[in-house]
A and B are shown apart, each in its own frame.
Chain A
């Protein structure tokens, strides 16, 4: 006699409701498995280190490493050598300041118009890139004492008889670097009167277009234009046009190191180190390497 087993419905294997997502959830399941392994093995150690680090925080920052932001398109203040290293007056000055403070200097390259946002986002600790002190910038950041002074002057083709006034430049193209005081000046005094102001990401591009003829003139720091462009072979056929521009409100009074407003300890440390460099003559030694005139100003 054959006795058939009673097959109950509940004995049959249940088919899962299948969706694409459930197949994909297999992958999520795998990730979940990894997470559980990690959790079960190292919870105590993780907790310990977290508590340790939390207890250590809250102490004032000791400046062992200072990150300087620099835009290396401004020889002789800062530029890049053939092997990729940074050279220039600001670089040497910064390294000397760090030596005085027994700190390590880290140089972070950044576009000039992104310097202040980078400083505020704490990507860098200080801006050492020939940045002038102006009221507008003082609203956002703080500065150390003066490190150099150089007025603004216009460069154009030699013999072009252009003057840095709106009437003379009407209809012409003038180039500036984005984020600089010269850009602000040109936008306020020249652009509303029919001058075409073109901003570039860095100063090399300004000179490249000036040389190729796309620009009729450019506005920048006088010392930079003189040593970094006019006295080099590429600057042949170009010269200064017109006098230095005067406008302390927009063009500022001097260049200094930019800092966050909360970092008063760094500001004091840098000011003291700077004063020492000025007193013992190291500043003058560095300056003589790049400039044959007084870059400190009065």
Chain B
């Protein structure tokens, strides 16, 4: 067991300079997918909550598909499936993009978390109290100002508990990157377990590291709730 830790501790945490592995890769995957997913979800949630059917129906179709299928299937589709299409391999830009496993994984994770976040934010937008919107319109605010100053600040605050749950679930979901050959924490644990035949130790170390990161995220979101949901205390 000590042999395993001595050989693999560096790979578990950060790998080598040109070849990062382990915890660093997991954190980077989580941050990138959550960040990109957030940027994707804000406009999409506005569309989803809108009364205009031309906007809300395509978005709800997208969230229905993504939320109805497992992330593993989506990842396999984007990693193995898309790259076998001749049309993708013929276009140089797409070819270069899908060739790299890392890009495929980030794309799959972003689309997935984007769909869930869209639903969360759309629910929060719909729960905005009607009186506030009436008052804003009475003041003559344009749609854009209405969303920027009234709806989005309150909706994002309302969505914070559910969104924190989604971010932690995204951290857990990054373990799937190991199946697309991205060298994240689970892949290192798999390598260690297959070399030393000690699955419990190898996966146990990975589990402990994930538990630490989850706890830190929970603590961070609790602080965020104290700041942004202070009016509820």
Do A and B interact directly, with beta carbons closer than 8 Å? yes
Selected from A117, A200, A209, the residue in CB contact (under 8 A) with B197 is A117
Type the 1/0 row for A163-196, where 1 means its CB is closer than 8 Å to any CB of B: 0000000000000001100000000000000001
> When chains A and B are docked, how far (Å) is the Cα of A140 from the Cα of B179?
27
Query: Chain B residues with Cβ under 8 A from A179's Cβ?
Result: 194
Query: Chain B residues with Cβ under 8 A from A212's Cβ?
Result: 83-84, 89
Report if A199 contacts B (CB, 8 A).
yes
Q: How far is the CB of B201 from chain A (nearest CB, A)?
A: 11
> When chains A and B are docked, how far (Å) is the Cα of A245 from the Cα of B47?
60
Interface residues on B, range: 10 to 19
Query: Chain A residues with Cβ under 8 A from B193's Cβ?
Result: 113, 117
Report if B80 contacts A (CB, 8 A).
yes
Q: How far is the CB of A214 from chain B (nearest CB, A)?
A: 6
- Report yes or no: A214 in contact with B197, Cβ–Cβ below 8 A: no
Query: Chain A residues with Cβ under 8 A from B80's Cβ?
Result: 208
> When chains A and B are docked, how far (Å) is the Cα of A197 from the Cα of B46?
45
- Report yes or no: B191 in contact with A178, Cβ–Cβ below 8 A: yes
- Report yes or no: B190 in contact with A113, Cβ–Cβ below 8 A: yes
- Report yes or no: B197 in contact with A178, Cβ–Cβ below 8 A: no
Query: Chain B residues with Cβ under 8 A from A199's Cβ?
Result: 181, 191
> When chains A and B are docked, how far (Å) is the Cα of A148 from the Cα of B181?
31
> When chains A and B are docked, how far (Å) is the Cα of A113 from the Cα of B191?
9
Query: Chain A residues with Cβ under 8 A from B190's Cβ?
Result: 113, 178
Report if A66 contacts B (CB, 8 A).
no
Interface centre among A178, A199, A201, A214 (most CB of B within 10 A): A214
- Report yes or no: A200 in contact with B181, Cβ–Cβ below 8 A: yes
Interface residues on A, range: 10 to 19
Q: Which residue of A lies closest to B200 (CB)?
A: A117
Report if A93 contacts B (CB, 8 A).
no
- Report yes or no: B101 in contact with A214, Cβ–Cβ below 8 A: yes
Query: Chain B residues with Cβ under 8 A from A200's Cβ?
Result: 181
> When chains A and B are docked, how far (Å) is the Cα of A117 from the Cα of B190?
12
A200-B181, A201-B179, A213-B99 as given contacts; A117 in contact with B191, CB under 8 Å? no
- Report yes or no: B83 in contact with A214, Cβ–Cβ below 8 A: yes
Q: How far is the CB of A46 from chain B (nearest CB, A)?
A: 33
Query: Chain A residues with Cβ under 8 A from B99's Cβ?
Result: 213-214
Query: Chain B residues with Cβ under 8 A from A209's Cβ?
Result: 181
Report if B204 contacts A (CB, 8 A).
no
- Report yes or no: A140 in contact with B197, Cβ–Cβ below 8 A: yes
> When chains A and B are docked, how far (Å) is the Cα of A204 from the Cα of B19?
25
Report if A116 contacts B (CB, 8 A).
yes
Q: How far is the CB of A120 from chain B (nearest CB, A)?
A: 7
- Report yes or no: B199 in contact with A117, Cβ–Cβ below 8 A: yes
Within 8 A of A (CB), among B83-111: 83-84, 89, 99, 101
> When chains A and B are docked, how far (Å) is the Cα of A116 from the Cα of B191?
14
Q: How far is the CB of B97 from chain A (nearest CB, A)?
A: 12
> When chains A and B are docked, how far (Å) is the Cα of A198 from the Cα of B99?
14
- Report yes or no: A213 in contact with B179, Cβ–Cβ below 8 A: no
> When chains A and B are docked, how far (Å) is the Cα of A113 from the Cα of B195?
8
Query: Chain B residues with Cβ under 8 A from A201's Cβ?
Result: 179
Q: How far is the CB of A213 from chain B (nearest CB, A)?
A: 7
Q: Which residue of B lies closest to A178 (CB)?
A: B194
Query: Chain A residues with Cβ under 8 A from B84's Cβ?
Result: 212
Within 8 A of A (CB), among B30-80: 80
> When chains A and B are docked, how far (Å) is the Cα of A208 from the Cα of B181?
13
- Report yes or no: B83 in contact with A116, Cβ–Cβ below 8 A: no
Q: How far is the CB of B175 from chain A (nearest CB, A)?
A: 14
Q: Which residue of B lies closest to A213 (CB)?
A: B99
Q: How far is the CB of B133 from chain A (nearest CB, A)?
A: 40
- Report yes or no: B197 in contact with A120, Cβ–Cβ below 8 A: yes
> When chains A and B are docked, how far (Å) is the Cα of A113 from the Cα of B19?
23
Within 8 A of A (CB), among B147-179: 179
Interface centre among A116, A178, A208 (most CB of B within 10 A): A178
Q: How far is the CB of B137 from chain A (nearest CB, A)?
A: 46
Within 8 A of B (CB), among A194-228: 196, 198-201, 208-209, 212-214
- Report yes or no: B194 in contact with A113, Cβ–Cβ below 8 A: yes
Type the 1/0 row for A97-128, where 1 means its CB is closer than 8 Å to any CB of B: 00000000000000001101100100000000
Query: Chain B residues with Cβ under 8 A from A140's Cβ?
Result: 197
Query: Chain B residues with Cβ under 8 A from A214's Cβ?
Result: 83, 99, 101
- Report yes or no: B199 in contact with A198, Cβ–Cβ below 8 A: no
Sample of 12 more A-B contacts, CB < 8 Å, known A114-B199, A199-B181, A212-B83: A113-B193, A114-B194, A117-B197, A120-B197, A140-B197, A178-B191, A178-B194, A196-B19, A209-B181, A212-B89, A213-B89, A213-B99
- Top-6 shortest CB links A-B: A113-B194, A179-B194, A212-B83, A116-B197, A198-B181, A117-B199
Subset of 21 A-B contacts with CB under 8 Å: A113-B190, A113-B194, A114-B194, A114-B199, A117-B193, A117-B197, A117-B199, A140-B197, A178-B190, A178-B191, A196-B19, A199-B181, A199-B191, A200-B181, A201-B179, A208-B80, A209-B181, A212-B83, A212-B84, A212-B89, A213-B99
